[in-house]
Amino acid sequence: MTRSATTPRLCLAALGALAAVAAPLAGQEAPADQPTETQLKTADGRDAGTVTFRQAEHGVLVMAKLKNLTPGPHGFHIHETGACTPDFKAAGGHYNPAGSEHGFDGAGGYHVGDMPNIHVGEDGTAMGEFFVPQVSVSGPENDRYPYTLDDADGSAIMVHSGGDDYADMASAGDRVACGVIMPPRG
């Protein structure tokens, strides 16, 4: 047998072996350290981009790639409930398991779900990376990560119509884009 005749058979045998190994793995859940990507929608159903949540050593990295938004600063928060429908109010308030005040300038601390504003360019797009300490993407809650986004009622990510002043909770305005990070567990 010549080398050219053997090579295709070896490749097919290798592909068959890979398929046999991969088939049982296909139904398994992704490992806990896999990023969680969330699709956001505007109130009128347009695609507003994605936000990816990746577990880091001391919390969660949040990476946003947004679109179809109005130019300027927008409040950007994790909300307490993994629901965006029937309207964005279904997401509840800011994720605040510690019962703190709102905003980085608040005397009583800030909500776990408070993040810096995201700034949208004239083309309606924005990119940003944020770090949320002491949070896990998918639990369990423990001393190192006392708060999880994957609690019984899940969590959502929200973009507001205006910039957050980091003190007054109403400063960011209406909810203009939402995505479910973790759905509620039934």
Average pLDDT over residues 30-47: 85
Is pLDDT above 80 for 126? yes
In a domain, 159, yes or no: yes
**How many domains is the chain partitioned into structurally?**
1
Confidence (pLDDT) at 19: 36
Q: How far apart are CA 132 and CA 53, in angstroms?
A: 10
Mean of pLDDT over the chain: 82
In a domain, 150, yes or no: yes
In a domain, 45, yes or no: yes
In a domain, 61, yes or no: yes
**Longest alpha-carbon distance in the chain:** 80
Tokens of 21: 């190994």
Run of H or E including 55: strand 47-56
- DSSP per-residue codes, 108-154: T---TTB---EEE-TTS-EEEEEEEETEESS----SSS-EESSSTT-
Pick the residue with more confidence: 10 or 83? 83
In a domain, 23, yes or no: no
What percent of the chain is predicted at pLDDT more than 70? 80
Average pLDDT over residues 140-157: 84
| Number of residues assigned to the chain | 186
Residue-wise pLDDT for 40-66, tens only, equals 999 999 999 999 999 998 899 999 999
Tokens of 153: 């009622």
Is pTM beyond 0.95? Reply is: no
Q: The domain containing residue 74 runs over which residues?
A: 36-182
Confidence (pLDDT) at 140: 66
Q: How far apart are CA 178 and CA 67, in angstroms?
A: 12
Q: What is the CATH number of the domain that holds 167?
A: 2.60.40.200
In a domain, 30, yes or no: no
Average pLDDT over residues 174-178: 97
**What residues contact residue 112 under an 8 Å CB cut-off, 6+ apart?**
78, 95, 96, 97, 98, 100, 132, 134, 135, 147
| Residue 14 pLDDT level (bands cut at 50, 70, 90) | very low
Confidence (pLDDT) at 15: 33
Q: Which of 60-64, 101-105, 137-141 has the lowest mean pLDDT?
A: 137-141
In a domain, 24, yes or no: no
| Residue 25 pLDDT level (bands cut at 50, 70, 90) | very low
